[in-house]
Chain A
């Protein structure tokens, strides 16, 4: 199979879905003329025309709210936010409009839309570097995906565009350049809500999200050399969330570490911990461990950022502690 980058995979998904379905439109700040600040959408306006791919003013409320209005009147808009952090500028539109329009109106409308959110710390400080998935996991009505491989970047984005619900699609900035095998089949889809077992093992369950997945796999390799065969699970989709995949793994391993780039308090790991307390406590022989961001804004200087971002050493240390 051919190998492409995560960034190319995202673009390919957009191209294929726009070609397949004329109701798909794409807009955002600098996406057309410039091709997006991460150059994901370059050339798409030439391919699909000014009506379907266009630059917008700096107006996140209007962009996301208009996606809701467009979605309930027959389009499938894909909005690019330049940074996932900008979701906070558009809170009403994401949380109360996209997430709840269908419910509060008694199911009168579907809201098929995707908001692409480049996430992750990359030396850009507290307002351009967050992984804010957990904030939105708390909010009903949204679908949330965080692909970690090029194949999933493509397959999940295509599923997100075809889904009849609003999807927040978190694409990690540090994964854009990573390469992997990606099917060329235009009907290749990765379903929302299905976790991937990235490596099988029975010594411990390591749940890793987004850019934590490649780090987790390196940790798993290192532990294997030391005789501990751990299982690495990539949820891929945080809503819907594949609870059975994690519970099944914990039944086998009895130990779990969650690695994420969200803040620790009420992060994804906190939800997994609570879920296991309710549904699978009897299978745990050690307490859950979380490797997450400490509850501080993401500092800008590299030395400070590196100190707070979960890395292989921190994940390794957490696993070793449980394996001891």
Chain B
């Protein structure tokens, strides 16, 4: 990782965190509706993983936060418009913030049902293979989602067909209110790779370099035609499952312990130690993120609601 990349990742992480803070503020103030599943605590891993992709690659994001979209370069005003159910976003109020989509950047959309992503990722991998394209698919999912039957079917299918798909589990320890220990037979999700004879590993998802290296390796493996991988990034969900979640099922001690491991200040210190980031630049990056968000918010507020009758449009091609 060169310094430019390190700094670029940092800027996107900061923008993501600030944007989620703003979204939480808007939702709590009743200024926008909709469900938002925040990714606070997982931004670094999401941004670092996406930094391994090339422009033509495909991505299926998980339903946790804005960082996937920020990382891939989707304009944030579009994300806010989708959140608010206005025009000017990516899906004209049809799918809201759960179905942000951007074909030009390989962002294929999202399955609202958890685990629906796996077969879609397999199909995108199939396209790449049949058309002999130099592309890969990066498919994010959570630890809870790895218990869907589609996980098993799709990983086996991809392994048998040697499809260029990287399955990346963000193991944050919780599926809504159910802890991973209570829902999942294995301690490490990546252990399940043995059932599909594919490579993979478990690593610290809060460490940018570990994430970048592991995903790079899996992407390289897929690009070379060697098939899928199953990766697992250990992380933690610092906020509730959705904005408004009473979060009554976890101890405050547990959550506070993980706040002390918040990957953003850790990465920040590392960059400062390496002299990649200096105090003045840090302040500028933060101010720039806030300014971008203010502009995006203003854009969103000036967008109209969709025409009600457009609810009937766009079902068939």
Q: CB of B69 within 8 A of chain A?
A: no
Q: CB of B103 within 8 A of chain A?
A: yes
Q: CB of A107 within 8 A of chain B?
A: yes
Interface residues of B in 144-159 (CB under 8 A from A): 149-150, 153-154, 156-157
Interface residues of B in 61-95 (CB under 8 A from A): 89-95
Number of interface residues of A (CB under 8 A): 45
Q: CB of B297 within 8 A of chain A?
A: no
Q: Are B120 and A68 neighbours in the complex by a CB distance under 8 Å?
A: yes
* Least distance between B33 CB and chain A CB atoms (Å): 17
* Least distance between B121 CB and chain A CB atoms (Å): 6
Q: Which residues of B contact A67 (CB under 8 A)?
A: 123
Which of B1-9, B110-118, B283-291 is the interface stretch? B110-118
Could you list 29 A-B pairs, sorted by A, with CB under 8 Å?
A59-B154, A59-B156, A61-B154, A62-B118, A62-B119, A62-B122, A62-B156, A63-B157, A66-B123, A69-B119, A69-B120, A69-B124, A69-B126, A70-B130, A71-B123, A73-B58, A73-B124, A73-B127, A75-B127, A75-B131, A96-B113, A97-B111, A102-B316, A103-B94, A105-B101, A106-B101, A108-B109, A109-B101, A111-B317
Q: Are B94 and A105 neighbours in the complex by a CB distance under 8 Å?
A: yes
Known: A140-B315, A143-B316; 13 extra A-B contacts, CB below 8 A, are A23-B131, A25-B130, A56-B157, A61-B153, A69-B125, A70-B124, A70-B126, A92-B113, A97-B120, A103-B315, A106-B101, A111-B317, A112-B317
Q: Which residues of A contact B231 (CB under 8 A)?
A: none
Return the CB mask of B301-317 against A: 1 if under 8 Å, else 0: 00000000000011111
* Least distance between B98 CB and chain A CB atoms (Å): 8
A157 to B317, CA, bound (A): 18
Q: Which of B95, B125, B129, B317 contacts A164 (CB 8 A)?
A: B317
Interface residues of A in 89-139 (CB under 8 A from B): 92-93, 96-97, 101-112
Given A65-B150, A66-B154, A69-B126, A104-B112 contact (CB < 8 Å) = yes
* Least distance between B166 CB and chain A CB atoms (Å): 14
Q: Which residues of A contact B120 (CB under 8 A)?
A: 65-66, 68-69, 72, 97
Q: CB of A150 within 8 A of chain B?
A: no
Q: Are A62 and B150 neighbours in the complex by a CB distance under 8 Å?
A: yes
Q: Are B91 and A61 neighbours in the complex by a CB distance under 8 Å?
A: no
Q: Which of A23, A25, A64, A109 contacts B119 (CB 8 A)?
A: A64
* Least distance between B204 CB and chain A CB atoms (Å): 30
* Least distance between A194 CB and chain B CB atoms (Å): 16
- 8 tightest A-B CB contacts, nearest first: A65-B119, A69-B123, A106-B91, A66-B123, A104-B95, A164-B317, A62-B153, A59-B153
Q: CB of B189 within 8 A of chain A?
A: no
* Least distance between A17 CB and chain B CB atoms (Å): 15
* Least distance between A295 CB and chain B CB atoms (Å): 28
Q: Which residues of B contact A65 (CB under 8 A)?
A: 116, 118-120, 122-123, 150, 154
Q: Which of A93, A96, A108, A112 contacts B91 (CB 8 A)?
A: A108
Given A74-B127, A93-B116, A106-B94, A69-B108 contact (CB < 8 Å) = yes
Q: Are B101 and A70 neighbours in the complex by a CB distance under 8 Å?
A: no
Q: Are B108 and A73 neighbours in the complex by a CB distance under 8 Å?
A: yes
Given A57-B157, A103-B314, A73-B116 contact (CB < 8 Å) = no
Q: Are B103 and A108 neighbours in the complex by a CB distance under 8 Å?
A: yes
Q: Which residues of A contact B108 (CB under 8 A)?
A: 69, 72-73, 109
Q: Which residues of B contact A109 (CB under 8 A)?
A: 101, 103, 108-109
* Least distance between B317 CB and chain A CB atoms (Å): 4
Residue of A nearest to B111 (CB): A97
A105 to B128, CA, bound (A): 22
Q: CB of B99 within 8 A of chain A?
A: yes
Q: CB of A141 within 8 A of chain B?
A: yes
